[in-house]
Amino acid sequence: MGDVAVGARSGHDGEEHRGRPVESAESAADSALTSGSDAGAADDGTAGRDGDRGADGTDAPKKPRSFWKELPILIGIALVLALLIKTFLVQAFSIPSESMQNSLQKGDRVLVDKLTPWFGSKPERGEVVVFHDPDNWLAGEPTLKPNALQKVLSWIGLMPSAEEKDLIKRVIGVGGDTVSCKGTGPLTVNGKALNEPYVYPGNTPCSDDDGGQFTVKVPKGYIWVMGDHRQNSRDSRYNQHDKNHGFVPVDKVVGRAIVKAWPINRWGTLPVPDTFDQPGLGDQSSAATSAGSLTAAPDALALAGVVPVALWRRRRAEQD
């Protein structure tokens, strides 16, 4: 009986001992199931938060921003770029008169290179340049009154400014050059005659009127400019009484006109004419030598006449 009793207790105890691991295993299993369910809930939550994941788990492309939201940004960038281009690269100008016919017509739009002067480039003979009014050359000329839109467009460089007093002419002489007009021409630079096919048909290179006849030496840091429509251009010739004597300071030059941009049927470049590439045109000393020889000639003739007379009088004195 004792043995049975002991055995019974032992068996009962064994069952109790054996039941604990089972409960632990069941608890672990329950815990594992719960963890799995939590992970699934987390996955579901993540999927719910992302929402834009594709079926393959990759991110779907984001919805593009509305065009109307991007439009102000694009306009702002365009305005900044236009302002930078106007300030440092090129600017549009309108031709206000017939003084540059037929190279340029009234109403043409030209693009002016403003970049190269920043790197020390100076105006050269034959170039068409835009420059600020040196000394009231435009006195009496009518001034347009732009509206608000035109002011904005001119400020960013898409339209010429009506408030700026600018002129456009062709460079004939640079610092150190001697430029001369006699009779009806030809116009000469440093003693070299210019062949000027760009002069308006029916005009003569030089005009026989007050200011049309001249011989000038261009100072350093200045240029001498003339219009292609010679009989209809108030240029350096007719401003010789201003403070610069008709010369244009180089620092007043905005830039070189390089392209006729509008109207489209007149599109084209504005190259330097071949006549300004002729040999010897840049020899400024030749013109000075010619002028010097003309000045010295009367003195030489006088000396040649005085020497024989002095010798004759000396012989007479010795004989006496």
Q: Which residues are catalytic?
A: 99, 169
| Distance of alpha carbon 182 from alpha carbon 131, whole angstroms | 27
Beta strands 166-174 and 222-226, pairing class: antiparallel
| Distance of alpha carbon 274 from alpha carbon 194, whole angstroms | 10
The DSSP line for 116-180 is GGGGT----TT-EEEEE-SSSTTTT-------HHHHHHHHTTSS--SSS-EEEEEEEEETT-EEE
| Distance of alpha carbon 227 from alpha carbon 171, whole angstroms | 9
Q: What is the CA radius of gyration of the chain?
A: 46
| Distance of alpha carbon 82 from alpha carbon 155, whole angstroms | 9
Closest alpha carbon to 211 in 237, 233, 181, 236 = 237
Q: Which long-range contacts (CB under 8 A, 24 or more apart) does 75-80 make?
A: 79/156
